[in-house]
């Protein structure tokens, strides 16, 4: 039964919002199928709106509900199924995620991994050190926008220093310093400096965990400010995925603020070798300590892992929320 209480001017705007959100959602598959090598500017322009799928889903679904309640869709209720299918289908069309596993009885068989963009402008690292000092803090932590102030805060905190005795840290005054903290021994430490003006720092290491070698890559590509930066980001993801999977049968992890969402071409490009370990929960921007829209922070894992838990971490005072995943090695 139509609800006359829904004003006509609201339904008129809901109709436009529903179709605008549908067009925005469809930008994701269109951008992935455009030939980036032949039309890089067009592919980049189309992909920019493709990242906002959470916004399209929430606003579009709300608009469709209002149209259904009002009975004034302007096209018949049957047509409402088209934007509904587009919004839901595109949202769920993402690169593969790790399979779910069963949490083992032995806590030592679970590797907890966290990644956090600290924001280079941050000066208060109390929330960060409090998080890292917790008993259930991650075993391996990837930090981005890692500055000298952040480095000193970690060094001066005895609880954090004791919990993470193994580190590869390259603080920088710009937003591209990186660090990897580990409770387990690190080896094969590598610092890869940028090769050109569009490239950014990368870190590589191997952590010894439960008798297994876990190969790590830490990176924080530039945001896609133009087609060149978008291409550099996607190229970095592919290069690190190729490096990590060059060890047959080995375990591997890539993590950081990758400045990409699950609906973009770059994550689909590494889908065959690295799978997302974290879910769809947004991590940026950290508005009011709870509201985020874009899932930009990721933990990618090789096929030898299963995920047994995870989620968004605490508010660290940054514009990003940390991402945490709990992993177990699949098989013997």
Render pLDDT for 245-257 as a digit per residue (tens, 0 to 9). Answer: 987 778 999 999 9
Task: Examine the pLDDT at 128 and tell me if it is beyond 50.
Answer: yes
Residue with tokens 């430490």: 189
The helix, strand and coil proportions of the chain, stated in percent and rounded to the nearest 5, come to: 35, 25, 40
Residues 6+ away with beta carbon under 8 Å from 39: none
Task: Examine the pLDDT at 70 and tell me if it is beyond 80.
Answer: no
Render pLDDT for 130-184 as a digit per residue (tens, 0 to 9). Answer: 999 999 999 999 999 999 999 999 999 999 999 999 999 999 999 999 999 999 9
Confidence band for 1, pLDDT divided at 50, 70 and 90: very low
The pair of three-digit structure tokens given for residue 56, joined into one six-digit string = 């399209």
CB–CB of 319/119 below 8 Å?
Answer: yes
Task: Examine the pLDDT at 76 and tell me if it is beyond 80.
Answer: no
d(CA 243, CA 329): 20
Render pLDDT for 276-323 as a digit per residue (tens, 0 to 9). Answer: 999 899 999 998 877 899 999 999 999 999 999 999 999 999 999 999
User: pTM for this structure?
Assistant: 0.93
Which CATH topology does 107-329 take? Answer: Deoxyribonuclease I; Chain A (3.60.10)
Residue-range domain boundaries for the chain: 8-92, 107-329
| Cβ neighbours of 25 (radius 10 Å) | 26
Render pLDDT for 192-218 as a digit per residue (tens, 0 to 9). Answer: 999 999 999 999 999 999 999 999 999
Average pLDDT over every residue of 319-330: 96
Q: For position 4, what pLDDT does the model report?
A: 52
Average pLDDT over every residue of 230-253: 93
Average pLDDT over every residue of 262-288: 93
Q: HSE-up of 275 (CA within 13 Å, CB side)?
A: 16
| Cβ neighbours of 330 (radius 10 Å) | 14
Q: For position 77, what pLDDT does the model report?
A: 60
Task: Examine the pLDDT at 73 and tell me if it is beyond 60.
Answer: no
Confidence band for 69, pLDDT divided at 50, 70 and 90: confident
Q: For position 2, what pLDDT does the model report?
A: 47
By C-alpha distance, which of 114, 81, 93, 83 is closest to 16? 83
Residues 6+ away with beta carbon under 8 Å from 51: 260, 261, 263, 264, 294
Q: What are the residues facing 275 on neighbouring strands?
A: 301
Render pLDDT for 78-121 as a digit per residue (tens, 0 to 9). Answer: 678 889 999 999 999 999 999 999 989 998 999 999 999 999 99
Instruction: Please give the biggest Cα pair distance in the chain.
Output: 68
Q: For position 253, what pLDDT does the model report?
A: 98
Task: Examine the pLDDT at 6 and tell me if it is beyond 80.
Answer: no
Average pLDDT over every residue of 223-231: 95
- CA angle, corner 288, sides to 48 and 322, nearest 5? 65
Render pLDDT for 36-50 as a digit per residue (tens, 0 to 9). Answer: 788 889 999 999 999
């Amino acid at each position: 039964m139509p609800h006359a209480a829904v004003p006509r001017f609201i339904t008129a705007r809901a109709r436009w919002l529903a179709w605008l959100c549908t067009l925005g959602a469809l930008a994701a598959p269109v951008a992935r199928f455009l030939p980036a090598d032949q039309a890089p500017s067009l592919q980049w322009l189309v992909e920019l709106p493709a990242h906002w799928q959470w916004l399209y889903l929430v606003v579009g679904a709300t608009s469709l509900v209002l149209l259904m309640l009002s009975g004034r869709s302007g096209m018949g209720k049957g047509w409402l199924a088209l934007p509904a299918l587009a919004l839901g289908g595109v949202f769920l069309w993402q690169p593969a995620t790790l399979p779910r596993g069963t949490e083992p009885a032995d806590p030592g068989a679970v590797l907890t991994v966290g990644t956090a963009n600290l924001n280079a402008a941050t000066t208060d690292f109390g929330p960060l050190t409090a998080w890292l000092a917790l008993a259930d803090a991650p075993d391996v932590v990837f930090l981005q926008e890692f500055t000298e102030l952040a480095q000193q805060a970690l060094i001066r905190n005895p609880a954090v220093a004791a919990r993470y005795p193994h580190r590869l840290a390259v603080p920088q005054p710009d937003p591209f310093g990186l660090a990897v903290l580990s409770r387990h021994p690190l080896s094969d430490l590598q610092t890869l400096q940028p090769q050109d003006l569009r490239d950014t720092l990368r870190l590589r290491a191997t952590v010894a965990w439960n008798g297994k070698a876990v190969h790590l890559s830490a990176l924080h590509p530039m945001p896609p400010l133009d087609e060149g930066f978008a291409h550099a980001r996607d190229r970095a993801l592919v290069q690190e995925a190729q490096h990590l999977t060059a060890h047959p049968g080995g375990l591997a992890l890539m993590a950081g603020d990758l400045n990409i969402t699950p609906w973009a071409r770059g994550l689909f490009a590494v889908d065959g070798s690295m799978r997302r370990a974290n879910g769809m929960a947004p991590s940026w921007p950290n508005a009011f300590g709870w509201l985020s829209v874009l899932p930009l922070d990721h933990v990618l894992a090789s096929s030898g892992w299963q995920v047994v838990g995870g989620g968004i971490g605490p508010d660290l005072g940054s514009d990003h929320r940390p991402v945490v995943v709990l992993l177990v090695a699949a098989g013997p």
